[in-house]
Amino acid sequence: MSSLQIGPHTVQPPVVLAPMAGITNAPFRTLCREFSGGKGLFVSEMITTRALVERNEKTMQLIHFDATEKPRSIQLYGVDPDTVGKAVRMIAEEDLADHIDLNFGCPVPKVTRKGGGSALPYKRNLLRSILRAAVGNAGSLPVTIKMRKGIDDDHLTYLDAGRIAVEEGITAVALHGRTAAQHYSGTADWDTIARLKEHVGAISEIPVLGNGDIWSADDAKRMMRATGCDGVVVGRGCLGRPWLFGDLVAAFEGREEDYARPTMKEVADVMVRHATLLGEWLGDEARGVIDFRKHVAWYTKGFSVGSEMRRKLAVSSSLAELADHLSALDLDQPWPAGADGPRGRTSGRDRVVLPDGWLDDPYDCAGVGADAELDTSGG
Ligand SMILES: Cc1cc2nc3c(=O)[nH]c(=O)nc-3n(C[C@H](O)[C@H](O)[C@H](O)COP(=O)(O)O)c2cc1C
C-alpha cells in the first residue's frame, strides 16, 4: 500500500483531511480519526499568523489538539514574511504542532482585494520571502503549502509556486485544481495536478498532493491514478460524513466491501457524538449544540427528514433536544443514493477582486497590507 512522507511523518494511506475553517477543529478531527483508526493526516482549520503571534484567546483555543493526535498539523495563513516567521518560530519553540501547512488558496474577496490568499502567489518574490521565513524558523518541523491553480485562467501561478516551494525547502505541495475566480464552481481540473507533479518531479522528490472534488474513496484512488500525485486532500466530501475517512482507509487497503453505508440511526448517533465533542471542546454543551447546527443539513442530506424537522434540528440548543428530535425520525432508513456526490459550497464568482495594479508586475517586491490577514473563512 502506498504511503506519503511529510518530513519525518509517514502518512499511510496517503490521505489528508483538508483544512476547513469553522469545521476541522479538534472535535471534527477526532471523529474522522475514530473512523480511520487513526490513519491519515488531519489538518487544523486555518490560523492567522498575526492572531497567533498576538496570542489571541480564540486562536489559542483553535490550536488545541487532542492528547492522542499525532502528528499535530496546523494550517497557518499569513501575508507578511516577518509575522509568518514569528508564528512558525513560536510553534516550533513551544512545541505546538508537528507539521505546518501554509494556506495560499483562500479566494474570498475580502482577502484577495488586499493581495492575500490565492492572489498572493502571483507576487513571486513575496511568496518566496514568506516561504523562506517559514522554513527558516521551523527548525525540524516540515512546512507544506496548499494553493490553487492561480487567480484565473489568464493568470496561473501553480507551476511557478511549485518551483519556488522546492527552491525554498518546502516539504510537500498540495494543489486544489481550481482558480480563485472559480471559487467552488465547475469541476476541479485534475490535469493541473498531473502537470504540477511532472513539473515538481523534474527537480525534486517532494510529494505533490491533489485536491478537489473527491466525493468518495473511489474518487481518491481515481485521482491518484489519473494524476500520479502522491496523496489526496479531501475537504467537502467529509462534511456530515466523517466516516468517509474509514472508506478512504478501506479503499487503499483493498477492502472496498467495508465502505460505510450508515442508516439514519447510525448517522443520528454520529450527530449526537459530534455535538457532544463540540460541547466538551467549547466547555459548554449549549455552545457545542449551536456550533453543530451548521452540520445538520450535511448529515441529513438525502435522507427523508422533512423541512420542518430539519429546521427543528438546526435550532436545537441542548443535546437532549437534539437527541429528542432525532429519535422522532424514521431511523431505519438505509443510506440514500441522494447523499452521495457533491456537498457543501459549489458556487462560483466571475472576477477576482485584486488591489489596483496587482497584475502589472509579478516580480515587484511590494508587500501586502496587514489587513489582508483579517479573514478567517478559508480557502
Ligand atoms: C467551509 C470551507 C472552509 C475552508 N477553509 C479552508 C481553510 O481554512 N484553509 C484552506 O487551505 N482551505 C480551506 N478550504 C478549502 C478546502 O481545504 C479545499 O481546498 C476545497 O474545499 C477543495 O477540496 P474539496 O473539493 O475536497 O472540498 C475550505 C473549504 C470549505 C468548503
DSSP string for 13-31: S-EEEPP-TTTSSHHHHHH
235 pocket-lining for ligand 1 (C-beta < 6 Å): yes
pLDDT score recorded for residue 373: 74
Given the CA of residue 146, which atom of ligand 1 is nearest to it?
A: 11
Q: Which of 32, 106, 229, 238 is catalytic?
A: 106
Cα separation, 8 vs 100, whole angstroms: 13
- Ligand 1 midpoint to CA 379 (Å): 5
Given the CA of residue 215, which atom of ligand 1 is nearest to it?
A: 26
User: Which of 236, 241, 244, 376 best tests ligand 1's pocket when mutated (most atoms within 8 Å of CB)?
Assistant: 236
Atom 10, ligand 1: which residue's CA is nearest? 379
149 pocket-lining for ligand 1 (C-beta < 6 Å): no
Spell out the alpha helix ranges (H) of 202-354.
Answer: 217-227, 244-252, 264-282, 285-292, 296-300, 307-314, 319-327
Cα separation, 38 vs 48, whole angstroms: 27
Going through 4-111 in order, the beta strands assigned E by DSSP cover 4-6, 9-11, 15-17, 41-48, 73-77, 99-104
The enclosing H or E element of 208 equals: strand 208-211
- Tens-level pLDDT at each residue, the chain (379 residues): 689 999 999 999 999 999 999 999 999 999 999 999 999 999 999 999 999 999 999 999 999 899 999 999 999 999 999 999 999 999 999 999 999 999 999 998 888 988 889 999 999 999 999 999 999 999 999 999 999 999 999 999 999 999 999 999 999 999 999 999 999 999 999 999 999 999 999 999 999 999 999 999 999 999 999 999 999 999 999 999 999 999 999 999 999 999 999 999 999 999 999 999 999 999 999 999 999 999 999 999 999 999 999 999 999 999 999 999 999 999 999 999 889 989 998 887 678 989 988 998 999 877 777 777 754 545 5
- Ligand 1 midpoint to CA 39 (Å): 20
pLDDT score recorded for residue 135: 98
Cα separation, 363 vs 329, whole angstroms: 59
Given the CA of residue 75, which atom of ligand 1 is nearest to it?
A: 9
Instruction: Please say whether the beta carbons of 287 and 268 come within 8 A.
Output: no
Angle made by CA atoms 81, 88, 43, in degrees to the nearest 5: 115
Cα separation, 145 vs 210, whole angstroms: 12
pLDDT score recorded for residue 302: 95
146 pocket-lining for ligand 1 (C-beta < 6 Å): yes
Among 238, 259, 192, residue whose Cα is nearest residue 343: 238
Among 84, 21, 51, residue whose Cα is nearest residue 379: 21
* Sign of the Cα pseudo-torsion (136, 137, 139, 145, in order): negative
- Ligand 1 midpoint to CA 259 (Å): 24
User: Which of 17, 20, 41, 73 best tests ligand 1's pocket when mutated (most atoms within 8 Å of CB)?
Assistant: 20
182 pocket-lining for ligand 1 (C-beta < 6 Å): no
Atom 23, ligand 1: which residue's CA is nearest? 212
- Ligand 1 midpoint to CA 195 (Å): 21
Atom 8, ligand 1: which residue's CA is nearest? 378
Given the CA of residue 214, which atom of ligand 1 is nearest to it?
A: 26
**CB-facing half-sphere around the CA of 239: CA atoms within 13 A:** 23
pLDDT score recorded for residue 94: 98
pLDDT score recorded for residue 374: 57
Atom 4, ligand 1: which residue's CA is nearest? 20
Q: What's CA 224's distance to the chain center, in Å?
A: 18
Atom 20, ligand 1: which residue's CA is nearest? 235
What cell numbers appear for 230 in the block? 502522491
- Ligand 1 midpoint to CA 239 (Å): 11
Task: Report the DSSP beta bridge partners of residue 212.
Answer: none
pLDDT score recorded for residue 348: 75
106 noted as active-site residue: yes
Cα separation, 88 vs 84, whole angstroms: 6
Given the CA of residue 233, which atom of ligand 1 is nearest to it?
A: 26
Cα separation, 108 vs 379, whole angstroms: 8
